[in-house]
Amino acid sequence: MILRTERLSHKYSSNWAIRDINIQIGDAGIIGLLGSNGAGKSTTMNIICGALNQTEGKVFINDIDMGKYPKEAKKEIGFLPQTPPLYTDLTIDEYLVFSAELRKINKHLIRSAVDEAKERCGIQHFSSRLIKNLSGGYRQRVGIAQAIIHKPSLVVLDEPTNGLDPNQLIEARKLIREIAEEHTVLLSSHILSEINILCREIIMIESGRVVFSDSMDAFNNYAQSHALLIRMGNPPPREELMNVPGVSKVEFVTNEQLKIYFEGNADELTERLIATSVSAGWKIKEINPDKGLLDDIFKQLSDKVSR
């Protein structure tokens, strides 16, 4: 197991920021940690990387107990915090040599480790440029280079694509995919589409608790199949729709447009609604699966967990 957390909980002064977070990552690939602002992503990542001591619970990296053997466990982790720890008055080379020394890489191996990290992150041409003179996208690359310099098993990236422009974003995604060919990557974002594009698995946290943890495909099935957007020429009262088997909630978006939440199979419900519409004269004009705003999905999942 590359990463395992057991009932990880953390309290800043009197408030719990995260509670009973259990994460298990066994395979390579990119795993996404999704959550809205303040959900507890950074707190979780800081603890996993040994940058913050948890109030309760345990972290194991490659089955090494971080509490008991922090040095050994940290060797297996590379971390890019939300605010990259860059010394902007240093050149890329100076900074990466410094990072390699911090990681206790053997003196005679430092040069080759720096060169390899630069090459993998596509920054070799800027070796002697001061970090303060780099664009945001390139600074991010330097941040990633310091996270992989010691070849850790697990690379943790806190909101690595946040604030990048569209071109930088494409480049950063490409780089993260390349990094994931050799390391397991755990990355966080508050943007569902970002996680969707990059990740094989998703762990979603809300208010400090895990509300969903499964493959990206399972998440998409869940997110897509719980509401339909329907336009009708002659919509019936809400109660009539609630009588259709499978319908769990009805919201009127406009006089003609409704959002119908349901349990079960979307296709079966669609057929049932169309059949009833024909006999009852609702005049259905359009039915589309509602992929849901992230907020809706968060809410559905949070409700499901607290039920």
Ligand X SMILES: Nc1ncnc2c1ncn2[C@@H]1O[C@H](COP(=O)(O)OP(=O)(O)OP(=O)(O)O)[C@@H](O)[C@H]1O
**Where do contacts with ligand X occur on this chain (CB under 6 A)?**
12, 17, 35, 37-43, 190
Closer residue to ligand X, CB minimum distance, 39 or 186: 39
Assign residue 172 a region (left: φ > 0; alpha: ψ between -120 and 50; beta: otherwise): alpha
Closer residue to ligand X, CB minimum distance, 39 or 273: 39
Minimum distance, C-beta of residue 211 to ligand X, in the bound complex (Å): 13
DSSP for 145-203, written as a single string: HHHHTT--SEEEESSTTTT--HHHHHHHHHHHHHHHHHSEEEEEES-HHHHHHH-SEEE
Residue 8 and residue 18 in contact, taking contact as beta carbons nearer than 8 Å: yes
* Strand arrangement, sheet containing 15-25: 15-25, 3-12, 56-61, 64-65
Minimum distance, C-beta of residue 10 to ligand X, in the bound complex (Å): 8
Minimum distance, C-beta of residue 158 to ligand X, in the bound complex (Å): 7
Closer residue to ligand X, CB minimum distance, 46 or 270: 46
**Residue from 37, 34, 35, 42 nearest 12 by CA:** 42
What is the helix (H) or strand (E) element at residue 70, kind and residue range? helix 70-75
Closer residue to ligand X, CB minimum distance, 28 or 294: 294
Closer residue to ligand X, CB minimum distance, 3 or 230: 3
Closer residue to ligand X, CB minimum distance, 156 or 232: 156
- Alpha-carbon dihedral 264, 267, 270, 271, rounded to 10 degrees: -110
Minimum distance, C-beta of residue 203 to ligand X, in the bound complex (Å): 12
- In the chain, the amino acid numbered 297 is I
**Residue from 69, 36, 66, 62 nearest 49 by CA:** 66
Helix (H, G, I), strand (E, B) or coil at 115: helix
Minimum distance, C-beta of residue 71 to ligand X, in the bound complex (Å): 25
Minimum distance, C-beta of residue 200 to ligand X, in the bound complex (Å): 21
